[in-house]
A and B are shown apart, each in its own frame.
Chain A
């Protein structure tokens, strides 16, 4: 079973306790009324979908309940690092398998 380190529980926990939450660091426009349709559509629907390292949200839903962020390699499925919500994306080196 895949083990995911929860940055709040500070331990590795089985993947069954987690839910995926989509790409991380997608900021909602501060003033939607001043946003063009294209910019709003971009915010709502378009994601980076990289081959390689991807910053994404996860929730330890059947554990501490907290959302946090993880950087996962979309090729190898390896989670490189996890960090608390609100923290900046840590520096990582590309490791496309």
Chain B
């Protein structure tokens, strides 16, 4: 076994040992490990990554790669973990020097997948945005907060959200989401 394989086999995420809600009304799971980059620059720069430049407050996907709009000139790029090197090399070759930056943040945060009828309700326990489908439609993505932690929230379907959270805040977020689920008892 190579050193790399040993490292992967023993890797423990911040949710290790926590029990996550796994019901049909609400399930919470960690998204697969990913390569993550913050791209600061013009929307046109996203093209070299794959997806079209996302519109404000939107996500844009092509195959296994996703770009989320975080702000003007700021994008979160998500790709399978094994693509990290090729993503970086591809963008480095095309980014205009001096007016853009690319930072690898793969290990700064983790992805969570929230699924089920009660997903929006559990998120609403700590996120002050209006998560009704009309106000936060499928495809919308934004940086926001959940209680005291910053998150990136992306609605992939009516009852499915992808959440990015800084890894040391993840147990805090997951604990409060589980509490929120307990609070929906009977709904």
| Beta-carbon contact of B145 and A16 below 8 Å | yes
B125-165 with Cβ < 8 A to chain A = 128-129, 142-145, 150
| Beta-carbon contact of A16 and B128 below 8 Å | yes
Out of A10, A13, A60, name the residue touching B56 (CB < 8 Å).
A10
Decide yes or no whether B42 CB sits under 8 A from chain A.
no
Decide yes or no whether B13 CB sits under 8 A from chain A.
no
Out of A9, A62, A66, name the residue touching B145 (CB < 8 Å).
A62
Out of B56, B143, B145, name the residue touching A65 (CB < 8 Å).
B143
Q: For the complex, what is the distance from the CA of A11 to the CA of B135, rounded to whole Å?
A: 10
A1-42 with Cβ < 8 A to chain B = 1, 8-11, 13-14, 16-17
Number of A-B residue pairs at CB separation under 8 A: 38
Q: List chain A residues, Cβ under 8 A from B74.
A: 64-65
The answer to whether A14 and B129 touch (CB under 8 A), given A62-B150, A65-B70, A66-B71, is: yes
State how many angstroms separate the Cβ of B136 from the closest Cβ of chain A.
10
B9-47 with Cβ < 8 A to chain A = none
| Beta-carbon contact of A1 and B70 below 8 Å | no
| Beta-carbon contact of B70 and A64 below 8 Å | yes
Question: Which residue of chain A has its CB nearest to the CB of B71?
Answer: A64
B67-96 with Cβ < 8 A to chain A = 70-72, 74
Q: Which 6 A-B pairs have the closest CB atoms?
A: A64-B71, A14-B128, A65-B71, A62-B145, A16-B128, A62-B150
- Identify 24 residue pairs between A and B in the complex whose beta-carbon atoms are under 8 Å apart, listed by A's number: A1-B128, A8-B56, A8-B71, A9-B56, A10-B56, A11-B57, A14-B128, A16-B145, A17-B128, A17-B144, A17-B145, A60-B71, A62-B143, A62-B144, A62-B145, A62-B150, A63-B143, A64-B70, A64-B71, A64-B72, A64-B74, A64-B143, A65-B71, A65-B74
New A-B pairs, 6, CB < 8 Å, besides A9-B56, A63-B142:
A1-B128, A10-B56, A60-B71, A64-B72, A65-B143, A66-B72
B-binding residues in A (CB < 8 A):
1, 8-11, 13-14, 16-17, 60, 62-66
